[in-house]
Structure 1
Amino acid sequence: MNSDSPAAVPHGGATNISAVHPDIIQTHIFTRLDGPTIASAACASSHLHAISADEKLWRDICHHTWPSTAEDLVHRLISTFPAAHRSFYYDSFPTLHHRRPNNRRRHRQGPPPTSELISAVDIRYQDRLVISKTHETETVSGWFKCSPFRVDLLDPKETVPSPAKFQGGEDACQSDLEENLTLSWILIDPTRKRAANFSSLRPVSVTRHWLSGDFQVRFATILAGDRRDEFVQCGAVVTCDGKEGGELQVKEVSLLMEDMDGKNLNGKDSLVILQEAMEGGERRKKRGEERERYQDYLKKKRERFEGKVRREKRLDMVCIVSGVTIFLAWTYVFLRGYS
């Protein structure tokens, strides 16, 4: 072979990924990818897995995906997770699917209940950040345990301007909010070092209040309840108001828990369900499934209500028949005795 000929390169000139310097992969490749893509790449080889474990990489991804995680309180909490920001990302992305197996009862024993829940909330309109805020909720007082579970992100008189416009009429505005408004509501359990995103990310419904005229944008995650075939709605509602032709103002952002009878769960029961969902809920990457689960939940809720109405009607009929029968029996006895 001629000495000037290039040396033969195995594999048709391809270079093994392990030959690429880790700094190049970290700074020039991984920084251009999103979290799911990096997680998939980490499964390709032990070399990529080791590089993808870099804490700064996942911290930057978390801060970009959820700006609220950059706040000092949340940042400190995430640093206590087993793999810090990587663990937090795997817990919180993207949506939660919680369905308790039929052959397993709810376990109420385990690590002690947390003394607080931390909310990290980010609202965007057309990918423009509208609200990025954290909130602390204590979970040990009698007031929390016995009162309906509710987390209010904004102060009573606080409003936040948004880029959304109220134009084109009510239907057009509802459609615009449904397509362009997104919400992430991550609950963090500092005691168990777990987190989960309890928002559907995109709205499951947009309605206008008949009295106030406010637009109520609902995001919902359906969770397993206490009993078999029992489900609970963890719903986040963003309330916006504004005059036609002007900007919409966000005036209320709240998180509530509701059972299939339409009753709000108290703090004690809600905390048990939320913690179990963090521990056992499956993180799903399929988009659009949340709306399907919400519609299925509403269908089950209607069927439950209709069944309850039918049972009450049957009970009323039994009471009426029993009353008439007793009346006729006493009438017969009275007339017979009189004769």
Structure 2
Amino acid sequence: MASTVDQGRDTSISAVHFDILQTHILTRLDGPTLASTGCASSTLHALSTEQKLWTDICNQTWPSTNDPLVHRLISTFPAGHRSFFSDSFPTLDHRRSSQPNTEHPVPTSQLISAVDIHYQDKLIFSKLQESETLSGWFMCSPFRFDLLDPKESVPTPVKLEGGEDTCRSNMEKNLTISWVVIDPTRKRAANVSSLRPVSVQRHWLTGDIEARYATIMAADRSCTSSEFVQCAIVVTCGGKEGGELHVKEVSLTVEDMDGKTLSGKECLVILQEAMGNGRRKKGKGWEGKERYEKYLELKRERRERKQRREKTLDMVCIATGVTIFLAFWALILFR
């Protein structure tokens, strides 16, 4: 009887063998749950920081990280794959800091993009791309990453069925993308894409369907006069009714509130600031659209203010010109 009572007394997590915890319990958790579990006790913290757990979670969340290059790179992060997950999940929320940024950007030789597109949680596109960042061409040219060549397309198992409204609705609900930008020099990363599209439209000329994903980030005043910039990802899909949907374009640009595409040098400053000081915002993916709509409203108000200033300046110039003209003729007439 006493033996039975003693056995029933120890109901804490420490009563479970380490192998059972690590093999049969922790391996079933997703990243956020595993991170929370590690805060419960010192024992769980030690078990939940096992690199293999985080490597498997990263590979499942972002299949592009299976690449040996990314694996070696992530292993140099302060806490390996755990640091990478903390940097990249789920989406970036970077707002202007109350303190001015006095740090100079650290030169980096390249940026690495790890991109994964899912439709109804099924992987339809995955690619890793290295982009050099030291050449004068990159520094001065408009910042733009293209993952597919103009004549290249990727077939998907997705059928293009139903009318235009049905197709747009399906893409808004089911087509998700993660675009993780990795800075090998600073050993930081950030997911610069909204989880779900902020808009889905049919191109007026080609008829292709364009899904836009956007992350709104605080701008650096040394780069642009805008308060915010838009990190815009466009996924262009085409196909015939009843046939397969093809991914024809996957591109990334960064634009200011005047619609100007920033240069590579300007974007490096903003991205490095966002990677270091941006928060990682949890949610179901619709928050990105709400912030994008607020950004469009601010953009419209900015444009209207600019038009009013230009109109006022034009009126002042006209009035000045008329005054000078009348004064000139008055001088001639009364001479």
Band the TM-score falls in, shorter-chain normalisation? over 0.9
Taking the aligned partners of 1:43 and 1:167, their CA distance within structure 2 comes to 47
Q: Partner of 2:311 in structure 1?
A: 313
Q: Counterpart of 1:292?
A: 290
Q: Give the aligned partner of residue 129 of structure 1.
A: 123
Deviations 1:181-232 (A, max 9, x none): 0000000010111111111011111111111111111111111102387101
Give 1:330's aligned amino acid. F
Match of 2:275 in 1: 278
Please identify, of 243-252 and 299-308, the stretch whose mean Cα deviation from structure 2 is larger: 243-252
3-state SS of 2:113 partner = strand
Q: Is the 8 A contact 2:144 2:254 kept in 1?
A: yes
- More moved, 326-335 vs 247-256: 326-335
Corresponding position: 1:161 with 2:155: yes
Q: Which residue, out of 178, 189, 198, partners 1:195?
A: 189
Alignment of 1:225-264 (within 5 A): 225-227=219-221, 230-264=227-261
Please tell me the residue identity of whatever aligns with 1:80: T
Instruction: Name the SS of the counterpart of 2:69 in structure 1.
Output: helix
Tell me the residue number matched to 2:104. Answer: 109
User: What is the match of residue 183 of structure 1?
Assistant: 177
> Which stretch has the larger CA shift, 241-250 or 202-211?
241-250
CA RMSD of aligned residues (A): 1.5
Aligned match for 1:94, one of 90, 99, 102: 90
Structure 2: distance between partners of 1:107 and 1:118: 26
Residue 320 of structure 2 corresponds to 322
> Which whole-Å CA distance do the structure 2 matches of 1:37 and 1:78 have between them?
21
Instruction: Structure 2: state its 5+ residue gaps.
Output: none
Give the number of equivalent residue pairs.
331
Aligned to 2:199: 205
Compute the TM-score of the two structures, normalised by the length of structure 2: 0.95
Residue by residue over 1:218-248, the C-alpha shift from the partner in whole angstroms, topping out at 9 and shown as x without a partner, is 1111111023871011111101111222221
Check if 1:38 corresponds to 2:38. Answer: no
The residue type equivalent to 2:282 in the other structure is K
Q: Which AA in structure 2 matches 1:37?
A: T
Separation of aligned partners in 2, 1:167 and 1:306: 41
User: Which residue identity lines up with residue 179 of structure 2 in the other structure?
Assistant: W
- SS of 2:212's equivalent in the other structure is strand
Alignment TM-score, normalising by the size of structure 1: 0.94
- C-alpha deviation, 1:264, in angstroms: 0.1
CA distance in 2, matches of 1:107, 1:69: 33
Equivalent residue for 1:26, pick from 22, 27, 38: 22
Task: Provide the identity percentage.
Answer: 66
**1:21-69 deviation per Cα after TM superposition (whole angstroms, max 9, x unaligned):** 1111111111111110111111111111000011111111111111000
- Give the AA of the match of 1:311: R
Larger radius of gyration: 1
CA contact (8 A) 2:220 2:269 kept: no
> What is the letter of the counterpart of residue 107 of structure 1?
T
Would you identify which runs of 4 or more consecutive aligned residues in structure 1 move more than 3 Å?
A: 4-7
Q: Is the 8 A contact 1:257 1:264 kept in 2?
A: yes
- Which letter does structure 1 place at the counterpart of 2:102? H
Q: State the Cα distance separating 1:5 from its structure 2 match.
A: 5.6
Task: Say which of 53, 61, 83 aligns to 1:57.
Answer: 53
Deviation at 1:6, TM superposition (A): 4.8
CA distance, structure 2, for counterparts of residue 38 and residue 31 of structure 1 = 9
Query: How far apart, CA to CA, are the structure 2 residues paired with 1:281 and 1:304?
Result: 25
* CA deviation profile, 1:155-180 (whole Å, cap 9, x unmatched): 22210012333222111111111110
Cα distance in 2, alignment partners of residues 201 and 107 from structure 1:
31
The match for 2:140 among 130, 139, 146 is 146
Letter aligned with residue 209 of structure 1: H
CA distance in 1 between counterparts of 2:202 and 2:60 reads 32
Instruction: Tell me if structure 1 keeps the 8 A contact 2:112–2:182.
Output: yes
Deviates more, 1:124-133 or 1:166-175: 166-175
Q: Do the aligned partners of 1:125 and 1:163 also contact (CA within 8 Å) in 2?
A: no
Question: What is the Cα deviation at residue 268 of structure 1?
Answer: 0.3
Q: In structure 2, how many angstroms separate the alpha carbons of the residues matched to 1:149 and 1:293?
A: 23
**Aligned AA (1:226):** D
CA contact (8 A) 1:122 1:131 kept: yes
Partners of 1:309 and 1:164 in 2: CA distance: 45
Q: How far off is 1:108 after superposition?
A: 4.1
**Alignment correspondent of 2:114:** 120
Q: SS where residue 334 of structure 2 aligns?
A: helix
